[in-house]
């Protein structure tokens, strides 16, 4: 079993780490009175101001300790569903988003360090029998349950069936306007705390939320959630390490509600390009992986690459190298060059040893890439400004192929063909995210396989 090993870029590297299907329409609340409230889980709390067109979530506490910092926005003028800002990159990323369809074969990171492959799942939303008065407001009780069955693929090759299930008791106040924010918080890698299985399998939770959102919106604002997730692995005498089970409980509370609040503003967040959750993850993975390789100078080998479709660019020259996997954990090819005005780089990371001619299937960057043995590769392109230390363009291929035509111990020759998406982020020009971009490249390195430049 092989896996992508992501290491932080070295000190002084130009590139910095970035943050994290179309969601259902954001429910309009035009004419509604703005309100403020606090959302708290078992460890943290956030201050929310929910307006007619915009909702802003800030950290609580003193300004000296980081209180008052915006961590999430939602609403029509920031693209709809809750989103977070990618760190050091002027782009928004959906905080919680799942696939439009979900079925057997879906992969998630395993809580045991391997990969979890979905076998089957089911969910149900039903009326609860425990209505409560919370903060003086009568509430409606709903119970959301999700049951999933997985095959845990360990790094040693063993396969173990695992059942993971979750139950969320939810209480909604019908006199307050609905918002996804209390369902989506807490952020910072733990989004969707009010939803079953959101801690281990947030894409499953997000998919289920989209299926039941039409039934939840009329119920009003979520005021309380109590969630229990459980993990039950089968006994597997062949497993190298016995898998432990258990249950985890958490709660979400909404309080300190005030109406008549001023409409919130977030001018730095308005009008930014919006990435899906999977695109945001690809951005983060790509920048982490590309940091040191793309910032180093390359003087051997040659390359040419060009794009077609919504964004057209091309480059070529001397500057192609083959790396032995040091730092990334996998063999990789780096194309491009570092100049005074720009760093332009294409990074190809192989899921298997690149020591023989053959064709590698392009897969989108994800937390479960290279989970299955086979000839796979990820391909990302980036353009950065070395003076301002900002990313101005990022491209990730989602399908295609990398074909190694020659691998002879002293050089490597190949081509790349595929399609993907691109984010144009240069503040001097139009900032946008575009789909359906075509990409073609050819390259030839001039160093031995496994050797360092």
- How many domains are there within the chain? 2
Can you give the pLDDT at residue 21? 35
> Which is nearest to 348 in space by CA: 409, 275, 276, 420?
420
Do 292 and 441 lie in one domain? The reply is yes
Do 290 and 260 lie in one domain? The reply is no
Q: What is the domain extent for residue 64?
A: 35-274
Do 212 and 295 lie in one domain? The reply is no
* Segment 319-375, tens digit of pLDDT: 888 776 555 557 788 888 776 677 888 999 887 666 678 899 998 888 777 665 568
Q: CB-hemisphere CA count at 13 Å for 37?
A: 24
Do 42 and 186 lie in one domain? The reply is yes
* Segment 126-147, tens digit of pLDDT: 999 999 999 999 999 999 999 9
209 within 8 A of 95, measured Cβ to Cβ: no
Do 96 and 227 lie in one domain? The reply is yes
> Which is nearest to 169 in space by CA: 250, 48, 247?
250
Residue 368 lies in a domain: yes
* Segment 394-417, tens digit of pLDDT: 999 999 999 999 887 677 899 999
Residue 23 lies in a domain: no
Do 233 and 280 lie in one domain? The reply is no
| Range 188-197 burial, b when 16+ CB lie within 10 A, else e | eeebbbbbbb
Residue 330 lies in a domain: yes
pLDDT confidence tier of residue 251, bands split at 50, 70 and 90: very high
Do 266 and 355 lie in one domain? The reply is no
Residue 4 lies in a domain: no
Asked which of 239, 274, 309 is the last residue of a domain, the reply is 274
94-103, 244-253, 293-302: segment of lowest average pLDDT: 293-302
Do 148 and 170 lie in one domain? The reply is yes
Asked which of 215, 242, 274 is the last residue of a domain, the reply is 274
Residue 327 lies in a domain: yes
Give the pTM.
0.82
Do 168 and 189 lie in one domain? The reply is yes
For residue 55, list its beta bridge partners: 50, 74
Asked which of 254, 274, 294 is the last residue of a domain, the reply is 274
């Amino acid at each position: 079993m092989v896996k992508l090993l992501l290491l932080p870029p070295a000190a002084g590297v130009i590139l910095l780490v970035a943050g994290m299907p179309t969601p259902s329409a954001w429910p309009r609340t035009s004419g509604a009175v703005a309100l403020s409230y606090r959302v708290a889980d078992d460890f943290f709390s956030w201050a929310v101001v929910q307006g007619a067109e915009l909702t802003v979530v800030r950290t609580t506490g003193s300004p000296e300790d980081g209180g008052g910092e915006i961590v999430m926005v939602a609403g029509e003028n920031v693209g709809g569903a809750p989103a977070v800002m990618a760190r050091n990159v002027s782009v928004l990323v959906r905080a919680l988003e799942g696939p439009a369809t979900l079925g057997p074969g879906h992969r998630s990171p395993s809580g045991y360090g391997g990969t979890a492959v979905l076998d089957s799942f089911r969910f149900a939303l039903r009326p609860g029998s425990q209505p409560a008065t919370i903060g003086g407001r009568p509430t409606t009780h709903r119970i959301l349950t999700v049951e999933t069955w997985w095959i845990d693929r360990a790094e040693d090759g063993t396969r173990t069936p695992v059942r993971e299930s979750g139950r969320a008791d939810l209480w909604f106040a019908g006199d307050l306007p609905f918002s996804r924010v209390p369902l989506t918080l807490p952020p910072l890698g733990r989004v969707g705390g009010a939803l079953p299985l959101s801690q281990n399998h947030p894409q499953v939770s997000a998919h289920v939320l989209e299926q039941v959102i039409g039934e939840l919106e009329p119920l009003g604002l979520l005021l309380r959630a109590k969630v229990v997730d459980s993990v039950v692995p089968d006994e597997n005498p062949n497993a190298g390490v016995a898998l432990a089970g258990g249950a985890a409980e958490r709660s979400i509370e909404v309080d300190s509600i005030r109406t008549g609040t001023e409409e919130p503003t977030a001018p730095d967040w308005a009008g930014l390009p919006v990435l899906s959750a999977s695109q945001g993850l690809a951005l983060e993975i790509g920048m982490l992986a590309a940091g040191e390789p793309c910032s180093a100078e390359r003087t051997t080998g040659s390359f040419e690459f060009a794009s077609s479709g919504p964004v057209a660019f091309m480059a070529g020259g001397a500057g192609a190298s083959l790396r032995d996997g040091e730092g990334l954990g996998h063999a990789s090819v780096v194309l491009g060059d570092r100049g005074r005005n720009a760093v332009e780089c294409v990074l190809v990371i192989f899921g298997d040893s690149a020591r023989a001619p053959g064709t590698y299937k392009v897969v989108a960057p994800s937390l479960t890439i290279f989970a299955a043995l086979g000839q796979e590769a990820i391909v990302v392109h980036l353009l950065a400004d070395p003076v301002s230390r900002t990313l101005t363009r990022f491209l990730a291929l989602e399908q295609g192929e990398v074909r190694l035509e020659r691998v002879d111990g002293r050089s490597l020759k190949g081509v790349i063909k595929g399609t993907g998406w691109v984010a144009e982020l240069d503040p001097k020009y139009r900032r946008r995210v575009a789909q359906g971009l075509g990409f073609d490249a050819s390259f030839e390195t001039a160093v031995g396989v496994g050797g360092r430049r």
